[in-house]
Chain A
Amino acid sequence: MEKFRRLAKPVSHLVVAGLLALSLHLPTAQASLIGTEAVINATQAQQNRERLHELLNREDVKSQLVARGVDPSQVQARVDSLTDQEVQTLATKMDQMPAGGDVLGVLVFLFLVLLVTDILGFTNIFPFVKHPKR
């Protein structure tokens, strides 16, 4: 089971890469309108190779979101609205990024410390700590 799990990710990447290779005509540049993002970012060499890489990242972010409890039916829409750069960031450091949500589970000691630091104005955890006018 463990072995299977370890293999699952590289295998899924291979499958995705294979499918993409079928649909991407890698060597040819296609005649097309130049997109606005390309105009802004100017340097778009190696477009196709990067595109393949980005699509792999997108799959990776999707599975990471599902692993963190997101409803699989929502994952596609959530990833679709991110730029390549943003997807890259999420793919590599989702767990290092702060998740704003007021997650607290704490003992009395910490409560006391934080209350003092709140009163001193270094933190602002407790809304009932009021700061006097200077």
Chain B
Amino acid sequence: MRNTQAAWSVSGGAGIPNETLCRQKTQLSNRKGPASGACARLATVASTGSTGGACSLLAVALFISVFFLLGGCATPQTDRIRATASARPQPVELKEVPFFPQEEYQCGPAALAIMLNWTNDFVTPDELVSQVYLPKRHGSLQLELIGAVRRQNRIPYVLRPELESVFAEVDSGNPVLVLQNLGFWWYPDWHYAVVVGFDLPGDRMVLRSGREERHVVPIEVFERTWRRSHYWAMVVMPPDRLPFTAEEIPYLQSVAALERLSSWETTATAYATALTRWPKSLAARMGLGNSRYALGDVRGAQQAFRQATQEHPDAAVAFNNLAQMLAIENRWQDATAAAQRAVELGGPQVGTFRETLKQIEAKREKQQEPLGPP
């Protein structure tokens, strides 16, 4: 038993009862054990553990739990990455990504502040606490982090649940916010961290995590902790830059969510940026038109909707919105024609199209009344 104690004390004193691990972490993080020798330590425990009744019970329990865990902890993504490691031989590390050490329970605000500051939105973790922290849960929800990003006029984009996406983003210069469960499903320790680097040949990832500016972990360890959040990862982008792995519809959905907040400058820029990668995107063109209209640029909106009708002659929504713009400019004939086209094309919103047509015709008659014969 004494041996066991000695073995553990190498890694920084085991007997700290009734303290939260959060605090232990800070106390112990300065007392690093030897860089190698984890396996040796474990061997000592295994051999000495079998002396004495309590210890053997502990050893058996540990053995069973470890055996059980081994069965459930394959790391398919890491294996896949290793198979293609030669494709990215150079280590990548985004050294310019800032760092905010977390306060107790506040890894959400801290990680989010790192992401936002990287996009030149100079917000502090303290300012974010009231926006994302859920006091009774001692943590922050993913959806609330997403909402906070939108309020800062940035585009949150949730990545495909694959290591390849994370590495592709980091490789193209974008840090990646991840949710990990550092513990187990039965003993969860949910944690937000920011991936800023990786080294495939060296089998390492670098994270801004908790109080550690450079937390280095083997890729498979990261995968195990990350898998428990169903591989949740997100990038935070300024509206004039697209995530490297962005896909058209998911990206435009993330942008459209900002319309609810009337962040029209931001959405206009983001839709225009999306059009540089997907020039024929109906949703992006329509979004650009809607944003311009909301900003008071009727001419610009009309131009966007017209282009949408030309590129997508069967898109009734484009004709409907074009008709509205033409009506504002009192171009009744063109407006009526566009509205009629929308009604002809029909679709789930045909009720709105009919209403548009009706309104335009009514306004047209009103306008022309004074000019008509008495």
Whether A18 sits at the interface, judged by CB under 8 Å, is no
Chain B 1-20 per-residue mask, 1 if CB under 8 angstroms from chain A, else 0: 00000001001101111101
Cross-chain contact of A113 among B25, B65, B261 (Cβ < 8 A): B65
Q: Does B320 contact A (CB under 8 A)?
A: yes
**Beta-carbon contact of A44 and B130 below 8 Å:** no
| Interface pair B355/A28, CB less than 8 Å apart | yes
A residues 89-104 in Cβ contact with B at 8 Å: 89-90, 94-95, 97-104
Contact B14 A120 (CB under 8 A): no
Query: Do A36 and B131 have beta carbons less than 8 Å apart?
Result: no
Q: Does A10 contact B (CB under 8 A)?
A: no
Nearest-Cβ distance from residue A107 to partner chain B, whole angstroms: 7
Chain A interface residue count, CB cutoff 8 Å, equals 71
Evaluate contact between B21 and A43: CB separation under 8 angstroms: no
| B283: chain A residues within 8 A (beta carbon) | 36, 39-40
Which of B132-140, B161-169, B235-243, B365-373 is near enough to bind chain A?
Answer: B132-140
Determine whether the beta carbon of A103 is less than 8 Å from that of B139: yes
Q: With A31-B359, A119-B42 as known contacts, state yes or no: A100 contacts B140, CB within 8 Å.
A: yes
Residues of chain B in range 66-103 having any CB-CB distance to chain A below 8 Å? 66, 69, 73, 102
* A99 close to B131 (CB less than 8 A): no
Q: How far is the CA of A86 from the CA of B359 in the complex (A)?
A: 34
Q: Which of B189, B210, B255, B267 has the most CB of A within 10 A?
A: B189
- Interface check A4, CB cutoff 8 A: no
Decide if B352 touches A117 in the complex (CB within 8 Å).
no
Having A90-B143, A128-B29, one finds 15 other A-B pairs with CB under 8 Å, namely A32-B352, A36-B290, A68-B137, A70-B134, A78-B148, A80-B260, A81-B147, A82-B146, A103-B190, A108-B15, A112-B14, A113-B65, A116-B66, A120-B66, A121-B220
The 3 closest A-B pairs by CB, nearest first: A101-B139, A99-B139, A69-B135
A-B contact pairs, 25 of them (CB 8 A): A29-B355, A37-B256, A65-B134, A67-B136, A80-B261, A81-B148, A83-B257, A99-B137, A99-B138, A102-B104, A102-B107, A103-B105, A104-B21, A104-B183, A106-B20, A106-B21, A108-B14, A113-B62, A120-B69, A123-B182, A124-B224, A125-B25, A130-B36, A130-B38, A132-B38
